[in-house]
Chain A
Amino acid sequence: MLIEIIVIFVGLIFSYFLKDINFLSLQFEFLKTGSIYPDFLLIFLIYFSLKTNEMWGIWLGFFAGLLEDSTILKFTQQNSEYINLIGIHTLIYPVLGYILGKINRYLDIDNIRTIVFVTFLCSLISRFMIWFIMGIVDEFYQSYAFIAPSIYTSILAPVWFFFLKWIYHKDEL
């Protein structure tokens, strides 16, 4: 059990690393979207929430959220200093993990269409919720993209699901 947890958390850190180095980022000047990046951390969370159960989904979501939140930089006028804003991703990701863990028995996750659809929907909803909460806490940012990164993440998801399945052999876990 402990080895399982360690191995899965190494995967979580590796997904964060891929996201952090902007791996497979794309530039579409003609679409004026700027660079778009696949969300490997979200794909990882979706995969394990669908493959395991809601308990795994909640805790993986929480730690993935902590990793993501540690990158949010906010200027506070009261103290004239910058802080790391914790709580936005740690709120959205565990709820997402819980819902996916609950409904996994109704989804055929070996079907590419299902993977693409679920990833697109999760990415879009989570991005919207993050933007919305950030808007309430701070301000509604114009620069945060929803659709382009969601499409790109969902296109890459089947390949990444296959890769994760090959690495983890989750059926045996």
Chain B
Amino acid sequence: MLWEYLSRYKVFFSLSFCILFSITSIIWQKNPISNSSIYFNKIAEQTNYFFKNIFNFPFLLIERISEYSELKEKYKKSLEEIEKYKLQKEQYEILLKENQKLRQLLEFEPLTNYPEVKAEVLGIRLNSITPRIIINKGKKHGIKPFMPVIAFATDEHNNPIRAVVGIIAIVQNTSSIIQPIQHPQMKLGVKIENTNQWAILEGDSFSFKKLKLKYITSSSAKENKYFIDPYIELRNSRVVTSGNDGIFPPNIPVGIIIEKGNIDENNFATAYLKPYIEIDKLEYVMIIQKNPELWSQELTNEIKNELPIPLTTEYIPMELIDNYKNKLENKLNNKTEKQNKTNDDTNKNKNILNQSDNNENTKDNNSNTIKKLINPNDPFQ
């Protein structure tokens, strides 16, 4: 009876099911099907990878045969180059040690070289509403969400560089999904190398090869001796990651400015950037095993609901930083007061001079933590 009824109105029931399923999935976004779709996607990608290999096999075979004759010459040249590099490596190590000593003397923070994992690109989806890249490395290889991803590219002078690709978004056991800088939700804190002006790179631009730079600061460049009118110098300027306690380490090339934009209502300049990475031609990427800096995690946990932008950006509005700074100061003051009280109780008979020294030290520590939190070069501050 029920089966007859269902088969009579099967079109109606089928369509109703699809619509209900879709609406439920849109409202309840983190449903079990959404989670399992990652595996579904992985199976599809691996099938695609298999097809791709079959598809490219004849072309690869021809390419490899033609490459073989050149290999001997390349081998000889590379041996000579290796000898050169051996000498350079020794020089580099000496310089590195010297640099470390100098940094220690100047009381600078030590340089951090993060380990990297090389991964092969399994698939690049650009014609979806949200582009993404799948790679063959995952949890097993130490990959975690929000790790920065870079790849080899060439700059405007055809020099080899390592440029920004995106951020690790979803991690599975043996594969991961990258959110490229072309993703509409991507907002990346960058700076213009020549002028040190800060800006926000927006993924939601009109083309994958022409991304928008917003909120280009002009105030920082007024004191710049070399560039009186920084806006003129914007074109052909290299843009790098701003770093400074965010997701990406500083000074990783992102792209080159190709076009000037308008000045917005808040007197911030805009420009258009061509990324160094050709996203549709990526074969291999490197994942920098660097977690987001502690302060940014603390900040997002503290004021997660107030934060109008996701963690994928390094730009945080001034008001929120001020609020956080005040909260932190209050907390630290309370702590020091409590500490002082307990010290008073236990060390009543001890020397008063020592106590005042301790207070000064704790105050110094407080100001140091706040200094670390707030970047002095940030024009937004």
Contact = CB atoms under 8 A, between A and B. Distances in A.
Interface stretch (B38-46, B80-88, B325-333, B358-366): B38-46
B15 interface: yes
A149 B124 CA distance: 18
Contacts of B130: 71-74
Given A85-B29, A143-B204, A77 B310 contact: yes
Contacts of A82: 145, 169-170, 177, 179
Contacts of B40: 66-67, 70
Given A20-B123, A77-B310, A94-B18, A143 B31 contact: no
B204 A73 contact: no
A16 interface: yes
B374 interface: no
A91 B26 CA distance: 10
Given A58-B11, A75-B185, A90-B25, A141 B129 contact: yes
B19 A91 contact: yes
Contact of B125 (A71, A74, A85): A71
Contacts of B137: none
A145 B358 CA distance: 63
Interface in A52-74: 54-55, 58-59, 61-62, 65-74
Contact of B19 (A32, A95, A139): A95
A90 B48 contact: no
B291 interface: no
A58 B129 contact: no
Nearest to A33: B207
A71 to B, nearest CB: 4
B280 interface: yes
Contact size class for A? 35 or more
Interface in B179-208: 179, 182-185, 203-208
A79 interface: yes
B47 A94 contact: no
A21 B132 contact: no
B284 interface: no
Given A131-B129, A143-B184, A80 B204 contact: no
B141 interface: no
Contact size class for B? 35 or more
A91 B304 contact: no
A75 B310 contact: yes
Given A73-B177, A94-B15, A98-B15, A34 B207 contact: yes
A35 interface: yes
Contacts of B128: 68, 71-72
B26 A87 contact: yes
A168 interface: no
B162 interface: no
29 contacts: A19-B127, A20-B48, A32-B207, A37-B126, A39-B127, A54-B11, A66-B40, A68-B128, A69-B37, A70-B40, A70-B41, A73-B130, A73-B170, A74-B185, A75-B185, A82-B169, A83-B35, A84-B38, A86-B31, A87-B26, A88-B129, A90-B22, A91-B22, A137-B26, A139-B204, A143-B205, A143-B207, A144-B184, A149-B127
Interface of B: 10-11, 14-15, 18-19, 21-26, 29-31, 33-35, 37-38, 40-41, 44-45, 47-48, 51-52, 55, 123-130, 132, 145, 169-170, 177, 179, 182-185, 203-210, 280, 300, 304, 307, 310-312
